[in-house]
A = this chain, B = another copy of it.
């Protein structure tokens, strides 16, 4: 996959290291093509389909752009269903990668229903946002990169929504023999993985409350829950004010535009929620597709 990715080599953050009182490394996937890691899983899935056809997806954000670019790179068409309130820059960016965008429904679930109907009628494939081995393996290429880019990391902190990203990274690190602790982080108002781990089975949340829309599905999947049970050391949560503080520090000190989900791992380190270990702590900065009006409100607050 390397030829289609932009290199995002791990970097030391002097300023965050000072603020967290430990060495902090960042994996800057907000600078990945499409502005998030989602291109990895989408491309790994889409590029294995027969060429020339059409793929379908539903997403309010990063997965939409990932699928659109993956299809473009694979010589396929993409039709992406997005909720009607999806932010204009995300819709424009998805169209910019050549996809046809259909605005359907108030929420993600309705857009996904429409995507499934559209795909069934035409016998097309829906690209899953996280619940598929090829998508998980694609996200796992980050873990393979960490083996060489951060061999001495003692802790790797990964934002968790549906769990595709942490499943891939944790499997890659564990199966490569990398010794780091692997910690997942969820927004406290959207902690479906943590609830499912506690229950020992899938738990769907009734209510979601977080600005971190990139990690806010109602439920994870059996596949990602099993990966997390097998390979991840623990899952913690962060509050909204901790996310906001991390986003502003990343802006001001690391010069990085990071969306709320993308700042979750850094927020966890800043909040001192993970005991120090004997080696650097690495935060996966998963995405940077930030609504500038949200940013403006955070600065003003």
Q: A residues touching B (Cβ–Cβ < 8 Å)?
A: 6, 11-12, 14-15, 18, 30-31, 33, 35, 89, 93, 96, 248, 251-258, 288, 290, 292-293, 295-296, 299-300
Q: Please name all residues of chain B whose beta carbon is closer than 8 Å to the beta carbon of A251 when the two chains form the complex.
A: 257, 292
Q: Is the interface of A mostly helix, strand, loop or mixed?
A: helix
Partner pick for A299 among B33, B253, B254, B296, CB 8 A cutoff? B296
Nearest 5 A-B pairs (CB), nearest first?
A255-B288, A255-B257, A296-B299, A30-B255, A292-B299
Give the residues in chain B near A33, CB-CB below 8 Å. 14
A27 to chain B, nearest CB (A): 14
Contact of A6 among B11, B248, B253 (CB under 8 A): B11
Return A235 CB to nearest CB of chain B, in Å.
26
Q: Which of A15, A18, A33 counts the most chain B CB atoms within 10 A?
A: A15
A-B contact pairs, 22 of them (CB 8 A): A6-B12, A14-B33, A30-B255, A31-B254, A31-B255, A35-B255, A89-B252, A93-B253, A248-B292, A251-B257, A251-B292, A252-B257, A255-B256, A255-B257, A255-B258, A255-B288, A256-B257, A257-B257, A292-B299, A293-B299, A295-B295, A295-B296
B31 and A252: CB pair below 8 A? no
Residue among A6, A11, A252, A254 facing the most chain B CB atoms (10 A cut-off): A252
**What's the least CB distance linking A35 to chain B, in Å?**
6
Question: Which of B35, B288, B290, B300 is close to A296, meaning CB atoms less than 8 Å apart?
Answer: B300
Residue of B nearest to A36 (CB): B255
Using A252-B292, A256-B255, A292-B251 as known contacts, say yes or no to A96 and B299 having CB atoms under 8 A apart.
no
A105 to chain B, nearest CB (A): 25
In whole angstroms, what is the CA distance A255 to B15 when docked?
A: 18
Q: How far is the CB of A5 from chain B (nearest CB, A)?
A: 12
How far, in whole Å, are A96 and B295 apart by their CA atoms in the complex? 25
Residues of B within 8 A of A299 (CB): 292-293, 295-296
A258: B residues at CB distance < 8 A: 255
